Structure 1
Amino acid sequence: MTVEVGKQVKDFTLPSHSGEEVSLSDFKGKHVVLYFYPKDMTPGCTTEACDFRDQHDSFAELDAVIIGISPDPVESHQKFIDKHDLPFLLLADEEHQVAEDFGVWKLKKNFGKEYYGIERSTFILDKEGILQKEYRKVKVDGHVEEALQFIKENL
C-alpha cells in the first residue's frame, strides 16, 4: 500500500538519531516535510540535507517541520547531524517498512549491479496529516526551494 495525494497518511513510529521513538502523529497541527534519502554522508544526500538545513528557519516560519528518513542506523544519523549541524530529525528506517509504505523502496541499478534502495522522494503533509504533494525521483538542485514554495503558496 502506498500513500496517495489527498488521503490521510498512516501513522508510523521510527527511532530518531537520538534513539527516541518518534511517531508521525507527534506532529499533528504542523505541516510535515518528509524526505526520504538513500544514505548519510554521500554527496547528493549531504547537499540535500544542507539545503534543508539552510532553509530550516523559512520552513519553521510556515509552521512546517522537516523529517529525513533513510535506512541508515541511528548512530550514522547522529554522526551526519553532528558533522553538518542539521537542526531537524533524522529517522532510521532500517527495515525499510516506512519506505515501502511510501513506495520509495525500489530496485536500482548502478554500474551494472542491481540492488534495493531509497528513491529520493519528498512528501508534504498538511496539519491534519493529509498528503498534499509528492515529489518522486527528486533531483537535489533547487528541490528544497520548490518544496518551500509549495507550502508558501498552498498551505
Structure 2
Amino acid sequence: MSRTPAPGTPAPDFELPGVVLDDGTAQRGTYRLSEQRGTPLVLVFYPGDNTPVCTKQLCAYTSELDAFRDLGATVWGISPQGLDSHESFARTHRLALPLLADTDRAVSRSYGIALPGLGLRRSVFIVDADGNVHWKHVALAGLSFQTTDTLTTHLAALTTTDPR
C-alpha cells in the first residue's frame, strides 16, 4: 500500500467520474485534481453511501458549504460506490457537493488509505492552490469525522500563509 502524502508534498493527481446535484438535476462529469489548481480543495474520502457516519459527515459538510466557499475552497466527496449509488445518496440527503466514484480504489490506493477487502479509511486531505497537501487526517477506525470548524480552521491558516 502507498503511503499517505505528507503535508508540503504534491497531492497525487487523479481523474474520476462524479455527480453533483444542481437544483435537483444530476450533473455527471469528469473531475480532475489538476484542473483545481489556483483554489484550495478539500478531498473527503468516505467509506460508503447511505451509511450512518458517512451520511452524517456529508450532510454536515453540505450544510456548511458556504463556510468552505467563503475561504475559496471546493469540497469533493470520494468513495468506492458507482455514480448511480452516489446520485441516489445525494438525492436522498440533498447533498450539494460532487460525489466522485473511485470504483477500482486506484485513487484511494494512491493516497495510501485503501484497506484491502474493507474499502478505505475515512480521510480528509486539504490541497492548496498549488496542488500540494496542506493538511490531512486519516482515521484509524472511521467512527467519527473531522468537523467543518476543524477543516475551515486549517483552510483559514492556508489562506493567511499563502503569499498570493
Q: Is the shorter-chain TM-score for this pair beyond 0.5, marking a shared fold?
A: yes
Partner Cα separation in structure 2 for residue 140 and residue 83 of structure 1: 21
Q: Which residue of 2 aligns with 1:13?
A: 15
- CA distance 1:142–1:91, change in 2 (3 Å): closer
Q: After the TM superposition, which of the residue ranges 82-91 and 69-78 deviates more from structure 2?
A: 82-91
Q: After the TM superposition, which of the residue ranges 133-142 and 30-39 deviates more from structure 2?
A: 133-142
Deviation at 1:116, TM superposition (A): 2.2
Identity of aligned residues (%): 30
- Aligned structure 1 segments of 4 or more residues deviating by more than 6 angstroms: none
TM-score (norm 1): 0.89
Secondary structure of the 1:19 match is strand
Partner Cα separation in structure 1 for residue 158 and residue 49 of structure 2: 30
C-alpha RMSD over aligned residues: 1.5
Q: Which residue of 1 aligns with 2:23?
A: none
**1:146 and 2:155 correspond:** no
Partner Cα separation in structure 2 for residue 78 and residue 101 of structure 1: 25
Deviation at 1:141, TM superposition (A): 5.3
Letter in 1 for 2:148: V
**Aligned ranges for residues 1-155 of structure 1 at < 5 Å?**
1-2=2-3, 3-17=5-19, 18-107=27-116, 115-137=117-139, 140=144, 143-155=147-159
Asked whether the 8 Å contact 2:42–2:76 carries over to 1, the reply is yes
Q: Which residue of 2 aligns with 1:111?
A: none
Gaps of 5+ in 1: 108-114
Gaps of 5+ in 2: 20-26, 160-164
